[in-house]
Amino acid sequence: MMRLEKRPSPSRLWTAATPVLAVVVTMVAGGILFATLGKDPVAAIRLIFWDPLFSEQYASYSRPQLLVKSGPLILIAVGLSFGFRANVWNIGAEGQYIIGALCGTAVALAFYPAPGWYIFPLMVIAGAFGGWAWAMIPAILKTRFRTNEILVSLLLVYVAEKLLAAMALGAMRNPDGGGFPGSRNISRYEPAANTELIANTGLHWGVVTAFIAVIFAYVMLHKHMLGFHVRLAGQAPRAARFAGVRPGALVVFCLGLSGALSGLAGMFEAAGPAGRISIDFAAGYGFTAIIVAFLGRLHPIGILLAGLLMGLTYIGGEIAQLTLGLPAAAIQVFQGMLLFFLLALDLLSNYRVRPGRREMT
């Protein structure tokens, strides 16, 4: 028989090792999954994790895609990690991402086709504001009426999706588009375009913002009282109140920050890689970022690495879909498994496994 024994302090070794172990276990379980689908597991895993970066056939296209896909994931996940550390659960980043994209695009379309250096900065402000405002709805409902922010923020995703469809079909539809849904391509409207800064790297302003957010989050969490209070509120809410933290203000701060960063991610996506608002603009970054945040242990550097890894599975998954004919759902299951194994293996950093009988003490 085995039993679990709580460690006096969390193990540093296991805290660092479990994400790596989770990736390995996911590869094994994913391989079994792909094998039962009748695909060669080794080839599929290789296609997902190796080929996007190193195969001659795909790398020239997929290498820049890595930053394009990882950028929004990292940006959103960094914002979410503050709330998750403080026990404020924003599950609706996808909705804030959509609203940010809508607000940013609206600014661009309002100026079209005028020139002006100030248009792109205005779009950035509008995108951040849109995401922030959308996140303020669950924040205010929670602080005023004690509603559950998980439910409210999640349900607001579906409201945002309807709003996106309405905009793509209505107010923002391209007047020169022959009646097809979707806005003008603002990435071709120079003052509003979120261009690739260095050719063939995929590096755009959103990726730069994501890197800045990682550094900002690192400094905040480790060097600043605000980050200390965020960690304190998550670990010991009563101690946080004793330390002078106002729980309501913290909820507003955490939701506001993650909303603003999600909105920025949406705005950069709309003005860059996506280029426009369309019905299927939302690609699930807001939900996948939750996995990224936990895979990165809610630590900024960890999130950076986890975002890159998750971006890789996106690209690799696409390649696997095209070449092996794997269903898209299989890739999503694969990503979900990663979170599942990570949380399961987390047990090892706080407990150790010992042989012997369980004893009541």
Partner 1 sequence: MTEHTPLLEIDGVTKAFPGVVANDGVSFSIRAGEVHALLGENGAGKSTLVKMIYGLVRPDAGRMRLHDAAYEPRDPSEARAQGVGMVFQHFSLFDALDVAENIALGMDDPPPQRRLARRIEEVSHDYGLPLDPARLVGDLSAGEQQRVEIIRCLLQNPKLLIMDEPTSVLTPQEVEILFTTLRKLAAEGTAILYISHKLEEIRALCDHATILRGGKVVDTCLPGEKSAREMAEMMVGARLNTPARAETQPGDVLLEVSELSVTPATPFGTKLHDISLQLRAGEVLGVGGVSGNGQDELLAALSGETRLPKSEIVFKGRPIGASGPNARRAMGVLSAPEERLGHAAAPDMTLTENALLSGAVREGLARRGFIAWRKARAFAERIIAAHDVRTPGPEVAARALSGGNLQKFVMGREIQQRPEVLIVNQPTWGVDAQAAAAIRQALLDLSAAGAGVLVISQDLDELMEITDRFAALNAGQLSAPRPTRGLTMEQVGLMLGGAHDMEVAHETA
Q: Does 3 bind partner 1 (CB under 8 A)?
A: no
Pairing of strands 351-355, 2-6: antiparallel
Instruction: Select the residue interacting with partner 1 from 231, 283, 321, 332 (CB under 8 A).
Output: 231
C-alpha 114/C-alpha 185 separation (Å) is 15
Residues 233-262 touching partner 1, rule: CB under 8 A, are 235-236, 238-239, 241-244, 246
Residues 13-72 touching partner 1, rule: CB under 8 A, are none
Closest CB 4 distance from partner 1, rounded Å: 13
Q: Residue for token digits 């509003």?
A: 192
Paired tokens of 37: 């689908």
Q: Whose Cβ is closer to partner 1: residue 170's or residue 244's? A: 244
For residues 319 and 312, is the Cβ–Cβ distance under 8 A? no
Q: Does 12 bind partner 1 (CB under 8 A)?
A: no
Closest CB 234 distance from partner 1, rounded Å: 10
Distances (CA, A) of 324 to 34, 45, 56, 190: 10, 11, 18, 39
Strand partners, 352: 5
C-alpha 342/C-alpha 25 separation (Å) is 9
Instruction: Select the residue interacting with partner 1 from 8, 113, 179, 355 (CB under 8 A).
Output: 8
Residues 210-229 touching partner 1, rule: CB under 8 A, are 223-226, 228
Q: Whose Cβ is closer to partner 1: residue 33's or residue 86's? A: 86
C-alpha 316/C-alpha 53 separation (Å) is 9
Quick note: the x/- pattern for partner 1 over 135-174, rule CB under 8 A, is: ----------------------------------------
Instruction: Select the residue interacting with partner 1 from 232, 257, 319, 331 (CB under 8 A).
Output: 232
Look up residue 176 and give its DSSP letter. Answer: T
C-alpha 313/C-alpha 332 separation (Å) is 9
Give me the residues that bind partner 1 (CB under 8 A), please.
5, 8-10, 223-226, 228, 231-232, 235-236, 238-239, 241-244, 246, 359-361
